[in-house]
Amino acid sequence: MSSQPPNLILFGPQGSGKGTQAKLLVDKYHYHSIGTGDLMRSYATHKDALGRKIRSLINHGELVPDKIIESIFSHEVTKIPADQPIVFDGYPRNLNQAHFLDTLLVKLERPLPVALYLNLPRAVVFERLASRYVCSECGTIVRSLPSLLRQLVCPKCGTSVAMRKDDKPEVIETRLNLFYSQTFLLVDHYKKLNRLTEINGEATIEQVQTVIATALHLPPSI
Protein backbone atom coordinates (compact mmCIF):
# COMPACT_ATOMS: atom_id res chain seq x y z
CA MET A 1 0.00 0.00 0.00
CA SER A 2 1.30 3.47 -0.86
CA SER A 3 1.93 5.90 2.01
CA GLN A 4 -0.82 8.23 0.78
CA PRO A 5 -4.25 7.39 2.17
CA PRO A 6 -6.59 6.13 -0.57
CA ASN A 7 -9.27 8.20 -2.26
CA LEU A 8 -12.50 7.25 -0.61
CA ILE A 9 -16.22 7.16 -1.34
CA LEU A 10 -18.50 7.31 1.72
CA PHE A 11 -22.04 6.25 0.98
CA GLY A 12 -25.05 5.09 2.95
CA PRO A 13 -28.62 6.11 3.69
CA GLN A 14 -29.51 9.58 4.95
CA GLY A 15 -28.29 10.15 8.50
CA SER A 16 -25.78 7.30 8.38
CA GLY A 17 -22.96 9.66 9.37
CA LYS A 18 -21.17 10.24 6.06
CA GLY A 19 -20.69 13.98 6.62
CA THR A 20 -19.51 13.49 10.20
CA GLN A 21 -16.96 10.86 9.20
CA ALA A 22 -15.79 12.90 6.20
CA LYS A 23 -15.13 15.84 8.51
CA LEU A 24 -13.11 13.65 10.88
CA LEU A 25 -11.01 12.38 7.96
CA VAL A 26 -10.30 15.99 7.01
CA ASP A 27 -9.38 16.99 10.57
CA LYS A 28 -7.33 13.92 11.48
CA TYR A 29 -5.88 12.65 8.21
CA HIS A 30 -5.71 15.78 6.03
CA TYR A 31 -8.19 14.48 3.50
CA HIS A 32 -9.91 16.93 1.14
CA SER A 33 -13.65 16.46 1.30
CA ILE A 34 -16.03 16.99 -1.59
CA GLY A 35 -19.57 16.96 -0.16
CA THR A 36 -22.02 17.26 -3.03
CA GLY A 37 -24.95 17.93 -0.64
CA ASP A 38 -23.23 21.05 0.75
CA LEU A 39 -22.12 21.99 -2.74
CA MET A 40 -25.68 21.74 -4.05
CA ARG A 41 -27.04 23.69 -1.06
CA SER A 42 -24.59 26.47 -1.83
CA TYR A 43 -25.68 26.56 -5.51
CA ALA A 44 -29.29 26.57 -4.30
CA THR A 45 -28.73 30.00 -2.74
CA HIS A 46 -27.91 31.53 -6.16
CA LYS A 47 -30.63 33.77 -7.54
CA ASP A 48 -30.31 32.55 -11.16
CA ALA A 49 -32.34 29.85 -12.96
CA LEU A 50 -29.85 27.11 -12.08
CA GLY A 51 -30.00 28.09 -8.39
CA ARG A 52 -33.82 28.02 -8.42
CA LYS A 53 -33.89 24.65 -10.14
CA ILE A 54 -31.44 23.07 -7.67
CA ARG A 55 -33.28 24.61 -4.70
CA SER A 56 -36.57 23.12 -5.81
CA LEU A 57 -35.04 19.67 -6.42
CA ILE A 58 -33.37 19.63 -2.98
CA ASN A 59 -36.51 20.79 -1.17
CA HIS A 60 -38.50 17.99 -2.82
CA GLY A 61 -35.83 15.40 -2.04
CA GLU A 62 -35.09 14.75 -5.72
CA LEU A 63 -31.63 14.23 -7.21
CA VAL A 64 -29.98 16.96 -9.26
CA PRO A 65 -29.65 15.62 -12.84
CA ASP A 66 -26.32 13.90 -13.55
CA LYS A 67 -25.36 16.31 -16.35
CA ILE A 68 -25.70 19.34 -14.07
CA ILE A 69 -23.78 17.85 -11.18
CA GLU A 70 -21.02 16.37 -13.41
CA SER A 71 -19.52 19.68 -14.46
CA ILE A 72 -19.74 21.20 -10.96
CA PHE A 73 -18.25 18.05 -9.43
CA SER A 74 -15.38 17.71 -11.98
CA HIS A 75 -14.44 21.31 -11.35
CA GLU A 76 -14.17 20.63 -7.58
CA VAL A 77 -12.02 17.52 -8.14
CA THR A 78 -9.57 19.27 -10.46
CA LYS A 79 -9.05 22.04 -7.88
CA ILE A 80 -7.50 19.54 -5.43
CA PRO A 81 -3.76 18.86 -5.84
CA ALA A 82 -3.15 15.42 -7.39
CA ASP A 83 -1.11 14.13 -4.44
CA GLN A 84 -3.85 14.84 -1.86
CA PRO A 85 -6.37 12.15 -0.88
CA ILE A 86 -10.06 12.98 -1.42
CA VAL A 87 -13.12 11.77 0.46
CA PHE A 88 -16.25 11.82 -1.71
CA ASP A 89 -19.35 12.41 0.44
CA GLY A 90 -22.61 12.17 -1.54
CA TYR A 91 -21.08 11.28 -4.91
CA PRO A 92 -21.62 8.87 -6.62
CA ARG A 93 -25.32 8.24 -5.96
CA ASN A 94 -26.08 5.99 -8.91
CA LEU A 95 -24.23 3.70 -11.33
CA ASN A 96 -23.91 6.38 -13.98
CA GLN A 97 -22.15 8.68 -11.49
CA ALA A 98 -19.92 5.79 -10.35
CA HIS A 99 -18.74 5.26 -13.95
CA PHE A 100 -18.30 9.00 -14.41
CA LEU A 101 -16.11 9.23 -11.29
CA ASP A 102 -13.80 6.37 -12.32
CA THR A 103 -13.46 7.79 -15.84
CA LEU A 104 -12.67 11.25 -14.47
CA LEU A 105 -10.02 9.95 -12.06
CA VAL A 106 -8.36 7.84 -14.78
CA LYS A 107 -8.29 10.91 -17.02
CA LEU A 108 -6.69 12.94 -14.21
CA GLU A 109 -4.25 10.08 -13.47
CA ARG A 110 -5.45 9.77 -9.90
CA PRO A 111 -5.96 6.53 -7.94
CA LEU A 112 -9.43 4.95 -8.13
CA PRO A 113 -11.33 5.24 -4.84
CA VAL A 114 -12.30 2.52 -2.41
CA ALA A 115 -15.93 2.59 -1.23
CA LEU A 116 -17.19 2.47 2.35
CA TYR A 117 -20.85 1.64 2.79
CA LEU A 118 -22.30 2.91 6.09
CA ASN A 119 -25.25 0.62 6.64
CA LEU A 120 -28.21 1.83 8.73
CA PRO A 121 -31.72 0.32 9.10
CA ARG A 122 -34.58 2.37 7.61
CA ALA A 123 -36.30 2.87 10.99
CA VAL A 124 -33.13 4.29 12.52
CA VAL A 125 -32.81 6.75 9.62
CA PHE A 126 -36.20 8.29 10.48
CA GLU A 127 -35.34 8.45 14.17
CA ARG A 128 -32.01 10.16 13.48
CA LEU A 129 -33.31 12.69 10.96
CA ALA A 130 -36.28 13.62 13.15
CA SER A 131 -33.90 14.75 15.89
CA ARG A 132 -31.25 16.33 13.64
CA TYR A 133 -30.61 20.09 13.78
CA VAL A 134 -27.86 21.87 11.89
CA CYS A 135 -25.99 25.03 12.86
CA SER A 136 -26.64 27.70 10.25
CA GLU A 137 -23.16 29.14 10.80
CA CYS A 138 -20.68 26.23 10.97
CA GLY A 139 -22.73 23.19 9.92
CA THR A 140 -22.31 21.32 13.22
CA ILE A 141 -25.02 18.68 13.74
CA VAL A 142 -26.89 18.76 17.04
CA ARG A 143 -29.32 16.06 18.17
CA SER A 144 -32.32 16.94 20.29
CA LEU A 145 -35.99 16.32 20.83
CA PRO A 146 -38.17 19.20 19.48
CA SER A 147 -39.39 19.95 23.03
CA LEU A 148 -35.84 20.78 24.14
CA LEU A 149 -34.99 22.85 21.09
CA ARG A 150 -35.66 26.27 22.60
CA GLN A 151 -32.50 25.97 24.68
CA LEU A 152 -30.46 24.71 21.77
CA VAL A 153 -27.56 26.63 20.30
CA CYS A 154 -24.54 25.25 18.50
CA PRO A 155 -22.01 23.96 21.08
CA LYS A 156 -19.14 25.12 18.85
CA CYS A 157 -20.08 28.68 17.87
CA GLY A 158 -23.25 29.59 19.81
CA THR A 159 -25.40 30.24 16.72
CA SER A 160 -28.98 28.97 16.66
CA VAL A 161 -29.67 25.61 15.04
CA ALA A 162 -32.47 24.63 12.67
CA MET A 163 -33.88 21.57 10.95
CA ARG A 164 -32.99 20.99 7.29
CA LYS A 165 -35.91 21.75 4.97
CA ASP A 166 -35.57 18.30 3.40
CA ASP A 167 -35.76 16.54 6.80
CA LYS A 168 -39.60 16.60 6.76
CA PRO A 169 -41.08 13.06 6.90
CA GLU A 170 -42.55 13.12 3.36
CA VAL A 171 -39.29 14.43 1.86
CA ILE A 172 -37.24 11.91 3.86
CA GLU A 173 -39.42 9.19 2.32
CA THR A 174 -38.60 10.40 -1.22
CA ARG A 175 -34.86 10.65 -0.46
CA LEU A 176 -34.79 7.19 1.09
CA ASN A 177 -36.69 5.67 -1.83
CA LEU A 178 -34.11 7.15 -4.17
CA PHE A 179 -31.36 5.77 -1.97
CA TYR A 180 -32.70 2.21 -2.07
CA SER A 181 -33.64 2.28 -5.77
CA GLN A 182 -30.42 3.90 -7.06
CA THR A 183 -27.58 4.38 -4.58
CA PHE A 184 -27.92 0.96 -2.97
CA LEU A 185 -26.93 -0.63 -6.32
CA LEU A 186 -23.43 0.67 -5.62
CA VAL A 187 -23.00 -1.99 -2.91
CA ASP A 188 -22.97 -4.77 -5.54
CA HIS A 189 -21.09 -2.64 -8.03
CA TYR A 190 -18.12 -1.99 -5.74
CA LYS A 191 -18.30 -5.49 -4.27
CA LYS A 192 -17.78 -6.95 -7.76
CA LEU A 193 -14.83 -4.60 -8.24
CA ASN A 194 -13.43 -5.74 -4.90
CA ARG A 195 -13.43 -2.16 -3.64
CA LEU A 196 -16.17 -2.33 -0.99
CA THR A 197 -16.07 -2.31 2.80
CA GLU A 198 -19.37 -2.41 4.70
CA ILE A 199 -19.58 -0.72 8.10
CA ASN A 200 -22.28 -0.82 10.76
CA GLY A 201 -23.56 2.80 10.85
CA GLU A 202 -25.36 2.19 14.16
CA ALA A 203 -22.07 2.13 16.07
CA THR A 204 -20.87 5.33 17.80
CA ILE A 205 -19.06 8.04 15.84
CA GLU A 206 -15.75 7.02 17.47
CA GLN A 207 -16.29 3.32 16.76
CA VAL A 208 -17.12 3.98 13.09
CA GLN A 209 -14.04 6.18 12.84
CA THR A 210 -11.83 3.42 14.24
CA VAL A 211 -13.30 0.86 11.83
CA ILE A 212 -12.65 3.23 8.91
CA ALA A 213 -9.07 3.92 10.03
CA THR A 214 -8.43 0.18 10.37
CA ALA A 215 -10.01 -0.65 6.98
CA LEU A 216 -7.84 1.99 5.31
CA HIS A 217 -4.70 1.07 7.30
CA LEU A 218 -4.50 4.64 8.61
CA PRO A 219 -2.48 5.29 11.77
CA PRO A 220 -4.56 6.02 14.93
CA SER A 221 -4.11 9.74 14.14
CA ILE A 222 -1.68 11.88 12.13
Q: Which residues bind ligand ADP (CB under 6 A)?
A: 14, 36-37, 40, 57-58, 61-64, 69, 90-91, 93, 97, 166, 175
Nearer to ligand ADP, 110 or 128 (CB): 128
Nearer to ligand ADP, 74 or 210 (CB): 74
Nearer to ligand ADP, 67 or 217 (CB): 67
Q: Are 23 and 88 in contact (CB under 8 A)?
A: no
Q: Are 29 and 23 in contact (CB under 8 A)?
A: no
Nearer to ligand ADP, 72 or 210 (CB): 72
Beta bridge partners of 18: none
Whole-Å CA distances, 14 to 36, 37, 126: 13, 11, 9
Distance in Å, CB of 220 to ligand ADP, minimum: 28
Q: Are 136 and 161 in contact (CB under 8 A)?
A: yes
Please name the residues in contact with 152: beta carbons below 8 A apart, sequence gap of 6 or more.
Answer: 133, 142, 144, 160, 161
Positive or negative: CA dihedral 143, 146, 147, 150: positive
Distance in Å, CB of 207 to ligand ADP, minimum: 21
Distance in Å, CB of 179 to ligand ADP, minimum: 7
Distance in Å, CB of 147 to ligand ADP, minimum: 24
Name the closest residue to ligand ADP (Cβ).
Answer: 37
How many H helices and E strands in the chain? 9, 8
- Residues 60, 66, 59: CA angle, nearest 5 degrees: 15
Distance in Å, CB of 91 to ligand ADP, minimum: 4
Nearer to ligand ADP, 5 or 166 (CB): 166
Nearer to ligand ADP, 110 or 164 (CB): 164
Distance in Å, CB of 16 to ligand ADP, minimum: 8
Question: From CA 212, how far away is CA 87, in angstroms rounded?
Answer: 12
Tell me the one-letter amino acid at 10.
Answer: L
